[in-house]
Structure 1
Amino acid sequence: MDTAATDHLLSTTRSVRLKLDLERPVEDEVLADCLRLAVQAPTPGGAETWRWLVVRDREVKNALGALFRQVGEEYLRQGLARAGGADAPPQVQRMVRSGQHLIDVIERVPVLVVPCVQGVPSGGNEELSVFYGGIFPAVWGFQLALRSRGLGSTLTSYHLQHEQEAARILGVPDGVTQVGLLPVAYTTVSDFKPARRRPVPEIAFLDKWGTPLS
């Protein structure tokens, strides 16, 4: 296995908003290939409870976009205000601009993908970790597969504040849980850089909390 290639893929798969190509079509076969790879992810008890809605229809995207925008704009407004408004740190202002751009163009993104899980979450931390642990590894696998083919995405959750209304728009039956929405498009740049992250010794511990791993 070429670890240089896999390391580059893993370290440069970004949340893409500003650099989504809104004009280039996304082929069905590319999405199918990425989903085939996504569902190679581990699945609790071999249940394969994941389900995927691929949305291309403009009217459906318009309806989802309205829910997305209603929640997203208020979320960004409050977040910017908490960070100091016009005096917020530059990185916060960049994130807000990026998020606002996606809100502004969400209906124009070629494909929206809504990952779902058969079932409804319940119980405590143990049960919930199994429920969501059965879908998010597959979502990440889908995003990695997209990245390796020149496409970008970002996992969003704004529309989930109106999940029941979204379910009516999408025809999602009772007993199925939506876990997010991924705008999917080719990217307008060919590569991305690794993000700045905190050093491993600050976030990983050995044997007991607070003892650095290295």
Structure 2
Amino acid sequence: MAAPLTPDELLTTTRAVRKRLDLTRPVPLELVRECLEIALQAPSGSNAQSWHWVVVTDQAKRAAIGEIYREQFDRYEESRGFAGRLFADRPERAQVQQRVGSSARWLGDHMGEVPVLVLPCIRTGGPFQAVNQAGLWGSLLPAAWSYCLAARSRGLGTSWTSLHLPREAEVAAVLGIPDGVHQGALIPTAYYTGETFKPAPREPLDTVLHVDAW
């Protein structure tokens, strides 16, 4: 049963859930299917609907993916782009970023324990072309975000992650994903604890808005 959220509430309170994912409570596959049925209503280029969805509940496979993710997170945590060290010269932003970094570290350590892992994929039939890929991913990512919104409205938390993608082939081998099908994200899915989600602080719109010209 979906929660009675207005569209604006749903859109502004669907947060990246990490430490508040309930690792002990099983998630019914039927509930995940319900969220994916909603996701399939998203648009895709030429209405091709080239998406595929890999839902991982097997403990051993989740553990294998979790180990790949943890190793990738270790590398990310040492990089200049790590969330926890961004905006160090802006105290009001740095504090938020440090919390994000801590939360992300927790997920890095526990990804393999999350009850359900969802990998949205798209069939390309071959390698990527060396051109702007917005059109390709625009036929998958709206549906993946619709999945996250549907999950939120049904009491499930998600977090959009992509750190595993440099080792996409290894994850594909774990799951038997064929050549010519590419992963767009890794979305851990679990019931969440607490109900205090609220809009997050953001930079003012006018700092990023350009009307008629840059």
TM-score by length of 2: 0.89
Q: Which runs of 5+ in 1 are unaligned?
A: 210-214
- Flag the structure with higher helix content: 1
Paired with 1:137 and 1:188, the residues of 2 have a C-alpha distance of 26
Q: How many residues align?
A: 203
1:90 aligns with 2:91: no
SS of residue paired to 1:122: coil
1:208 aligns with 2:209: no
| Counterpart AA for 1:208 | A
1:175 aligns with 2:176: no
SS of residue paired to 2:6: helix
Post-superposition offset of 1:67: 0.7
Query: Partner residue of 2:193?
Result: 188
Identity %: 41
Contact 1:121 1:131 in 2 (8 A): no
Query: Partner residue of 1:37?
Result: 38
Paired with 1:51 and 1:81, the residues of 2 have a C-alpha distance of 35
Post-superposition offset of 1:190: 2.0
Q: Which runs of 5+ in 2 are unaligned?
A: none
Paired with 1:197 and 1:83, the residues of 2 have a C-alpha distance of 13
| Counterpart AA for 2:13 | T
Aligned-residue CA RMSD in angstroms? 2.0
Post-superposition offset of 1:197: 1.1
Contact 1:67 1:158 in 2 (8 A): no
Paired with 1:160 and 1:7, the residues of 2 have a C-alpha distance of 31
Query: Partner residue of 2:129?
Result: 122
Paired with 1:59 and 1:158, the residues of 2 have a C-alpha distance of 20
| Counterpart AA for 1:53 | V
Paired with 1:191 and 1:37, the residues of 2 have a C-alpha distance of 24
Paired with 1:19 and 1:48, the residues of 2 have a C-alpha distance of 33
Q: Structure 2 vs 1, CA of residues 13 and 160 (structure 1 numbering), >3 Å: closer, same or farther? A: same
Query: Partner residue of 2:6?
Result: 5
